[in-house]
Every structure is written in C-alpha cells, then in structure tokens.
Structure 1
C-alpha cells in the first residue's frame, strides 16, 4: 500500500488535516496492511508539500491545542496521483501493494488501467506456469511438508489472479456484483 497514494487520493475528495487521514486509514482497515506512525504520516505530508503536490489551505489553533493545518491537493498533485496509480500497477508485486491505488481508481484512465492490469495478470500467470513446470521436475524428490508449501504458494498466486480478473472486469464496467 502506498501512503502517498492514500494521502493524495483523499485530498482529491476534499481538504484534510493529517490526523483526518490517519483516522481514515484506521476506519478503512488500511492500517492493518501498513502500520503508520505519526512521524511517517507528517513526513509524507511535508514531502508532498515540498514537491508542490499539496498546499496549505488553513491553519487553525484551538485553545490549549497545537496548530492544525488543513491541506488540499494541487493540479500537479492530481497528475502525480494518476501517475502513482499507474506505477503501482506497472510494478505489480502482489495485490496488497495495489490496495491504495485500487481505492482511488476513479482518478485514472480506465483504458490505461485495463492494459496495466492485463499485463499484471499475464506476469502472474507466467510465474504460475513456471512454478508448475519446475515442480514437475523437482516435486518427486521433495518431502511432503515441501509439497504443502508448494500447494499454498500456487493457491495464493491463483487467488491473486482471480482478484486481478475481477478488478479488470470492474475497470471495464463489466462487474455488476461480487
């Protein structure tokens, strides 16, 4: 999961304070995927601000409380969000690495996304095929516990392909229900 994508995506929806974003991470159970501490969250806001992807909208201070800065996204930030989404799919490692990008798919071109998802499916399918072929050679020589690991590995990769196919159908507007 990309914290940058999560921040930019939420700022596309409306202006937020970093603490609001942290609450959304917890509320969407995204924090289970990637633990976020305050230092890392505020650091990412500062980096995005320096890059010109976000801007300070308002600074308020309530009695006996620290300053509270609300941020909004810039046009450069909207373009960066779109590119970060494409990059996540281009560099596909596993489905968990796509969580933030999947949440904010509406900020990217569906045709380009479909192409990138098809590439990720093919990449994963090739890995499955190589794994199966390799197993045909070494499978007879391995103990049962290694067979269990192999079975789990293949099942996991097939589950990932299944998710990507559903995501592709969604992006194409073909998915009507789960």
Structure 2
C-alpha cells in the first residue's frame, strides 16, 4: 500500500520533531515510532519508507549527516541532526496539519511537538477546525439524498442510513475531541505564561 499524503506528513513531523530533541539514527527513530504510534493508519513505517524519507529530508536541507560510524562487520550507521531549515519546516508542517484538519488522528504527530510552535496560533487554527467541523456536522444532519438517486434510494436506503449514521458519528466524535483539545491547548498556553 502506498504512503498517503497524511502519512507522509505525520512521518516527516515525527522525524523532524525527534531530531529537534537531539541527533539520532533512523533505526532508533523507527523504534520510537513503533513504540509510541502503534496505529499504521497514522504512520506506517518500514525500513524502505524510513530511509527514503531520510534521503528526501536530506536533499531538502531539513536534516544533515552528523556522524557516520562503523562497528566491526556491521553496515555504516549514520546519525542525523536537524537544520534551521528543518526546524522551520517542522513548524510549517505542524501548522499545516491543523489547517488541513480531517480527523483527530491526523494531528497525533503534531501534538507531540507543540512546544516548538506558537500555541496561540494553534489555538486559533483549532477554533477554525471546530467551526469547519460544526458546519460539516450540520450539513450531514440537513442533507437529503440527491434527486438522481431516484428509484435506487428505496433499494439502498438502509445502506445509506448506515453510512450516513457512521459519518455523523465520526464527525461528532471529532468535534467532541477538538473541543477537548482546545481546552487542553488553552491550559497549556496559560501554564506557559
């Protein structure tokens, strides 16, 4: 299965965020991801994906090689660090994940590294995400079947009801957790004053 844009963003945020904390090796970062984010829908990581992402970040100038070492007959081990350009990219990606909110899971990696961004801006973006989600929920509750369904609607009405109910439940769940997130962020902002 190909890596989705959301998974790409989550993995990039996680790598850059970990490297902001200190220089590290891709394999150690892989272990951290597997230990802390067990849901592969959020970040699916295998050696190929991880090393490809490191090469991409290196080419963009977001990270740099710090040290290449070799022990006995083992392969080379490269330790990486984040650059100033990478720090800027991490901030941009965190803001972008809040701007493009689709569901709460799409924010997991960003939530781990909030200390590197302006919490006031994150609060503003979260408030906007809540408003968009409220509008989506209202549209889901107000929606009717399109006319083109015609005679088909009788044949699949239970199916449509099931799908609609699921969509509404997911939106309501996201809205509930966004509001909890907003409280959490406001508390965080108050504590950091």
TM-score, normalising length: structure 1: 0.89
- Paired position in structure 1 for 2:150: none
- Paired position in structure 1 for 2:185: 171
Q: Does the alignment pair 1:10 with 2:18?
A: yes
The whole-number CA distance in structure 2 between the counterparts of 1:136 and 1:44 is 43
The whole-number CA distance in structure 1 between the counterparts of 2:92 and 2:51 is 22
Change (3 A) 1:154 1:61: same
Please provide the CA RMSD for this pair: 2.2
- The secondary structure found in structure 1 opposite 2:64 is strand
- The unaligned stretches of length 5 or more in structure 2 are 1-6, 148-152
- Paired position in structure 1 for 2:157: 143
Offset at 1:143?
2.9
Matches within 5 A, 1:1-150: 1=7, 2-33=10-41, 34-135=43-144, 143-150=157-164
Change (3 A) 1:155 1:31: closer
- The unaligned stretches of length 5 or more in structure 1 are none
TM-score, normalising length: structure 2: 0.82
CA deviation string 1:27-60 (max 9, x = no partner): 0134533321211111111111122211111111
The whole-number CA distance in structure 2 between the counterparts of 1:174 and 1:152 is 32
